[in-house]
């Protein structure tokens, strides 16, 4: 029996195509808001009912459409934005395919109401399942409103896959807030079932918009190079998440996900992020339109760069210089969630946020500070006063520190009044009504790491020959692994050679470091074999080993430091870049306000 081939009617074609563009209410909002932006709107209002499942309304004060355009807009491939393929190479608009309205209309009931400045009466077009139902004149302000009812009413299979209204509102709110970073001069509002859940007034700069959305203590960054402009804010490595959901990327005005940028940002953190840690913040990249291909994804949520190496280098450089400014204590004003939100925008907490770093705080005695993802539910067992501290944002940098000259002056370790060493590892200090605690091992590690890296960069790394080589006994497997790394260790002025299959001898150490615990270092290095591609990632490997070297040359828990040694360490820290965090990104110093300390004793009540 032969198959019968037939050409599908337009309504069916549009329904099928809708699957690509319109997955859920959030994708509808995205397309409609993009259209409002393209229409030159300065005020965009979105209203949802049941998370958009029953109704989505997007109103703008943009250029509007004339009567015949308003009808034409629903045709597949009807667009006012491009007319030839060449237009795609210097695209200045978010839309270009002319398929969003056709796709949305195919799977819902749509009412479009619009008026241009030139016409004195507006027009209202009603569509149902992709078919024109009615066109009428109507009194209307300049601009456009599109109302979508009963999304997927005629495609029940899709309707089944809709997420809960709450999840949808949260997603839409995040998307709006994040994409608004590209256009600070537009006002964005979102109302969900009558409640305003987002209201971002127009501001002058992206940094200001960033401050409306993110915790204020992120570090600002900006860099211009070879026609590539990068701007944004990034967080302390201690705020890193276990996935990239806290990192917002905007490229030429589009909110996208992009592996290259994520990688560049991570590299900008130097060695301070662990393998699966991702910083929070946002990166806005602007580059000539012809250097980006935006037509690589059905929902336009990915792009492709023509000069990706250059983009990578500029983003990495911008982040690196911002990160270098980390000097401040990590405040223990504990946490709130979410990582990517402000007091005004409670976004769903991201899962997998590393809590252990924050909990370098007063934790155990005062009730458990639960994993960040649980924070909303946390009611610590003992002192009730902790629960509201837990609910506040961690501030690693008070906002005044972002503005040079404003507020309290720059933090200096040498200004600390050292009180004593506790729990074998922590240096307790006092500074201006604050209790400041320095992790001496992390501090020393940072100083040593910087020493070795600076010496290497300046070609001043020298081998200090040992009078009597130190012989270290290992397993034969460890010896094999270690010998694979001999060359890398040599790069760092660390000389090892094989004595026999279970022993190696250390004959030289970097002169900038003293008292290296060779046994611990060698065991540590031998624990993992070098991966095959290490030559391509030589610098990364060397950094990795440098961090280990620094670690094993540092004072250890249990070492007793004299007051003199403590202040010597403090002044070295004042000279060191990145002194706020150890090479592994853990905080070096953390502080408690008087109020926090008093709350431990219930004096705040």
Residues that bind ligand ADP (CB under 6 A): 31, 35-36, 39, 60, 62-65, 73, 78-81, 95-102, 144
Q: Does 252 bind Mg ion (CB under 5 A)?
A: no
Q: Which does 215 bind (CB under 5 to 8 A by kind): Mg ion, ligand ADP, none?
A: none
Q: Which does 222 bind (CB under 5 to 8 A by kind): ligand ADP, Mg ion, none?
A: none
Smaller CB separation from ligand ADP, 97 or 434: 97
Using the rule CB under 5 A, which residue among 51, 52, 95, 143 binds Mg ion? 95
Residues 204-243 that bind Mg ion (CB under 5 A): none
Within 10 Å of residue 2's Cβ, how many Cβ atoms? 4
Question: Is there a contact between 25 and 48 (Cβ–Cβ < 8 Å)?
Answer: yes
- SS3 track for 321-381: HHHCCCCCCEECCCCCCCCCCCCCCCCCCCCCCCCCCHHHCCHHHHCCCCCHHHHHHCCCC
Strands 187-192 and 43-49 come out as parallel
Question: Is there a contact between 181 and 218 (Cβ–Cβ < 8 Å)?
Answer: no
Distance of closest approach, residue 133 Cβ to ligand ADP, in angstroms:
18
H helix or E strand, kind and range, residue 114: strand 109-115
Distance of closest approach, residue 22 Cβ to ligand ADP, in angstroms:
11
Smaller CB separation from ligand ADP, 35 or 579: 35
Question: Is there a contact between 113 and 121 (Cβ–Cβ < 8 Å)?
Answer: no
Closest of 394, 370, 333 to residue 595, by C-alpha: 333
Distance of closest approach, residue 427 Cβ to ligand ADP, in angstroms:
60
H helix or E strand, kind and range, residue 316: helix 308-323
Smaller CB separation from ligand ADP, 65 or 545: 65
Smaller CB separation from ligand ADP, 96 or 534: 96
Distance of closest approach, residue 203 Cβ to ligand ADP, in angstroms:
23
Instruction: Specify the 3-state DSSP secondary structure of 602.
Output: coil
Q: Does 27 bind Mg ion (CB under 5 A)?
A: no
E strand intervals along 361-448: 417-422, 426-431, 434-439
Distance of closest approach, residue 80 Cβ to Mg ion, in angstroms:
10
Smaller CB separation from Mg ion, 94 or 311: 94
Question: Is there a contact between 174 and 342 (Cβ–Cβ < 8 Å)?
Answer: no
Using the rule CB under 5 A, which residue among 100, 218, 255, 369 binds Mg ion? 100
Per-residue tokens: 216:
């204020």
Q: Which does 489 bind (CB under 5 to 8 A by kind): ligand ADP, Mg ion, none?
A: none
Dihedral (CA of 551, 554, 560, 565) sign:
negative
Within 10 Å of residue 162's Cβ, how many Cβ atoms? 18
Stretch that binds Mg ion, among 97-105, 301-309, 358-366, 393-401 (CB under 5 A): 97-105
Residues 28-87 that bind Mg ion (CB under 5 A): 35
Smaller CB separation from ligand ADP, 99 or 572: 99
Smaller CB separation from ligand ADP, 140 or 600: 140
Residues 532-551 that bind Mg ion (CB under 5 A): none
The residue whose Cβ lies closest to ligand ADP is 95
H helix or E strand, kind and range, residue 260: helix 259-268
Which residues neighbour 482 within 8 Å (Cβ) at sequence distance 6 or greater?
474, 496, 504, 522, 525, 526
Smaller CB separation from ligand ADP, 35 or 331: 35
Q: Which does 78 bind (CB under 5 to 8 A by kind): ligand ADP, Mg ion, none?
A: ligand ADP
What is the distance in angstroms between the CA of the first residue and the CA of the last residue of the chain? Answer: 85
Instruction: Specify the 3-state DSSP secondary structure of 75.
Output: coil
Smaller CB separation from Mg ion, 104 or 553: 104
Q: Which does 299 bind (CB under 5 to 8 A by kind): ligand ADP, Mg ion, none?
A: none
Distance of closest approach, residue 65 Cβ to Mg ion, in angstroms:
12
Distance of closest approach, residue 146 Cβ to Mg ion, in angstroms:
11
* Cα 505 versus chain centre, distance: 44
d(C-alpha 432, C-alpha 415), whole Å? 10
Smaller CB separation from Mg ion, 94 or 547: 94
Distance of closest approach, residue 102 Cβ to Mg ion, in angstroms:
10
Q: Which does 436 bind (CB under 5 to 8 A by kind): ligand ADP, Mg ion, none?
A: none
Applying CB under 5 A, which residues contact Mg ion? 35, 95, 100
């Amino acid at each position: 029996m032969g198959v019968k081939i037939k050409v599908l009617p337009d309504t069916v074609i549009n329904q099928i195509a809708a699957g690509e563009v319109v997955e859920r209410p959030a994708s509808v909002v995205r397309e409609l808001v993009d259209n409002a932006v393209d229409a030159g709107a300065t005020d965009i209002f979105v209203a949802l009912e049941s998370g958009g499942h029953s109704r989505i309304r997007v109103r703008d004060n943009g250029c509007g459409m004339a009567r015949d355009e308003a009808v034409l807009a629903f045709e597949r491939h009807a667009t006012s934005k491009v007319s030839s393929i060449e237009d795609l190479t210097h695209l200045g608009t978010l839309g270009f395919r002319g398929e969003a309205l056709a796709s949305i209309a195919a799977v819902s009931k749509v009412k479009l109401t619009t008026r241009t400045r030139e016409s004195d009466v507006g027009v209202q077009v009603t569509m149902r399942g992709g078919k024109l139902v009615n066109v009428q004149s109507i009194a209307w302000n300049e601009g456009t409103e599109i109302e979508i009812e009963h999304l997927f009413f005629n495609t029940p299979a899709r309707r089944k896959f809709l997420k809960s209204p709450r999840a949808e509102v949260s997603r839409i709110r995040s998307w709006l807030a994040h994409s608004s970073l590209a256009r600070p001069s537009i006002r964005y509002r979102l109302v969900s079932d009558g409640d305003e859940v987002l209201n971002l007034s127009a501001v002058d700069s992206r940094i200001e918009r960033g401050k409306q959305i993110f915790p204020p203590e992120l570090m600002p960054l900006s860099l211009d190079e070879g026609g590539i402009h990068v701007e944004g804010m990034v967080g302390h490595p201690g705020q890193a998440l276990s996935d990239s959901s806290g990192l917002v990327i905007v490229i030429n005005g589009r909110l996208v996900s992009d592996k290259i940028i994520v990688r560049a940002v991570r590299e900008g953190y130097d060695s301070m992020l662990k393998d699966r840690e991702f910083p929070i913040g946002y990166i806005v990249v602007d580059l000539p339109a012809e250097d980006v291909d935006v037509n690589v994804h059905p929902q336009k949520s990915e792009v492709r760069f023509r000069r990706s190496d250059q983009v990578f280098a500029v983003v990495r450089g911008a982040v690196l210089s911002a990160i270098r400014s980390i000097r401040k204590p990590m405040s223990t004003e504990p946490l709130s969630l979410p990582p990517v939100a402000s007091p005004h925008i409670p976004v769903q907490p991201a899962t997998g946020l590393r809590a252990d770093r924050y909990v370098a705080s007063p934790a155990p005695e005062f009730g458990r500070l639960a994993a960040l993802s649980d924070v909303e539910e946390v009611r610590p067992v003992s002192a009730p006063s902790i629960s509201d501290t837990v609910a506040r944002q961690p501030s690693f940098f008070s906002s005044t520190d972002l503005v040079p000259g404003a507020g309290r002056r720059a933090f200096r370790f040498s200004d600390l009044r050292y009180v004593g060493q506790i729990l074998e590892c922590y240096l307790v200090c006092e500074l201006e009504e604050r209790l400041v605690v320095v992790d001496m091992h992390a501090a020393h590690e940072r100083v040593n790491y910087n020493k070795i890296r600076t010496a290497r960069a300046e070609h001043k790394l020298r081998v200090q020959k040992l009078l009597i080589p130190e012989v270290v006994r290992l397993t034969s497997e460890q010896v094999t692994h270690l010998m694979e790394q001999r060359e890398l260790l040599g790069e760092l002025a660390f000389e090892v050679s094989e004595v026999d299959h279970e022993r190696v001898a250390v004959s030289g150490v970097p002169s900038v470091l003293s008292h290296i615990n060779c046994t611990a270092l060698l065991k540590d290095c031998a624990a993992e074999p070098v991966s095959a591609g290490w030559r391509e990632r030589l610098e990364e490997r060397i950094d990795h080993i440098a961090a280990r070297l620094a670690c094993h040359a540092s004072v250890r828990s249990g070492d007793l430091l004299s007051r003199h040694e403590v202040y010597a360490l403090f002044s070295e820290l004042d000279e060191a870049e990145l002194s706020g965090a150890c090479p592994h990104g853990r905080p070096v110093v953390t502080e408690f306000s008087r109020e926090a300390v008093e709350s431990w004793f219930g004096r705040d009540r």
